[in-house]
Copies of this chain bind each other. A is one copy, B any other.
Amino acid sequence: MPLDTIRARLQQRHLDALLVTQPENRRYLSGYTAHDSSIAESAGVLLISAKGAPLLLTDSRFALQAEREATGFTMRLYQRGLLALLKNLLPGLAIRRLGFEPHWMLYSTATALLKMTSTLNIEAAPVGGLIETLRRCKSAREIEHIQAAVLLNEQVFQTVFATLRPGQTERQVADRIEQTMRQMGSEGPAFETIVGAGPNGALPHAVPSDRPLRRGEPIVIDMGLRLNGYCSDMTRTVVLGKPDDKTKEIIRIVRQAQQAATKVIRGGCTGREADRAARQVINAAGYGKYFGHGLGHGVGLAVHEAPPLNRRNRGQLTPGMVVTVEPGIYLPDWGGVRLENMVVVKTSGCELLNQDTTFLDI
């Protein structure tokens, strides 16, 4: 039960309660799926106290949904904003130290919260990453959801890949991918779909343009969807017609880098070691300076979450973490190749969540 774990952590830190504002943390703990249109227009926050019942604070627009979904939570509605409700609520809850999430609260909101709590003789303290730390290791049920999101994403990819033709623009292809995601039953894209054809593929985060796809050039397609709240993230680099020798060579190097990393990922391996396994292959092939990003990142309710796999992360992976393995080579003016799969970290080794092998083994 995550709630019991959180309560134990709160007591360790001498906190009487935690205000959970980060949307994925809120969903993780409560099951409440509402979407915040921005950090300034929240669909509600949780107040988890060390002793009393957990509360969900929201406004009347979301009351029905909150009641239906957050079954373990007691709902409190605010009419004149969160702070006014907290001001009424906190004194009755015997809270002396209240934690809040500094990485998901606006400076203006936090300063108003600090001012309000000080008038009540309550100490408000920033508590970073407490829930994110719990979210890193997935339960069996979460892994099922992620597996389903990965497989549906592959079906969407295959559906659109079968219709790719020279002359279609990057933007048309990206739009079609996102439409197909919705049609095939997902909650929509987990991030803005990347389609980078030819030279545009040399930008790791290319925004799809009106450039048409051409025969023979590498086309980077980076796509992910949300299903039951959980994300998938996959990149394939494909060619319409026959790839030339250079493209084939670079795809092979990137694929070998991916396989080398997949071989070392297991419980106890550090993020840095996983990154190095892939980087060594690309360095040895002479393309080291064209692999400018980290190897991967955690995926769950958020498409980018802990842990990062890069040169700086000396933390060890633990079983149940789900991470991407996505080396790439980006050559200015020529284009890019990136290959991205997702794996679950196991005690010995890791388990591949992907089945699609398009252009992985040419």
Contacts and interface: CB of A to CB of B under 8 A. Distances in A.
Interface of A: 34-35, 37-41, 60-62, 64-65, 100, 102-111, 126, 128, 175, 178-179, 182-183, 191-192, 203-205, 207, 292, 304
7 contacts: A61-B205, A64-B203, A102-B111, A103-B106, A103-B108, A106-B106, A175-B183
A126 B107 contact: yes
A40 B23 CA distance: 13
Contacts of A182: 175, 178-179
Contacts of A106: 102-107
A34 B304 CA distance: 19
B60 A292 contact: yes
A183 B203 CA distance: 26
Across the A-B interface, the 5 shortest Cβ-Cβ residue pairs: A107-B110, A102-B108, A102-B107, A61-B205, A103-B108
Given A35-B192, A37-B192, A191-B37, A65 B108 contact: no
Nearest to A129: B108
Contacts of A103: 40, 106-108
Contacts of A37: 191-192
A207 B65 contact: yes
A151 to B, nearest CB: 21
A149 to B, nearest CB: 18
A303 to B, nearest CB: 9
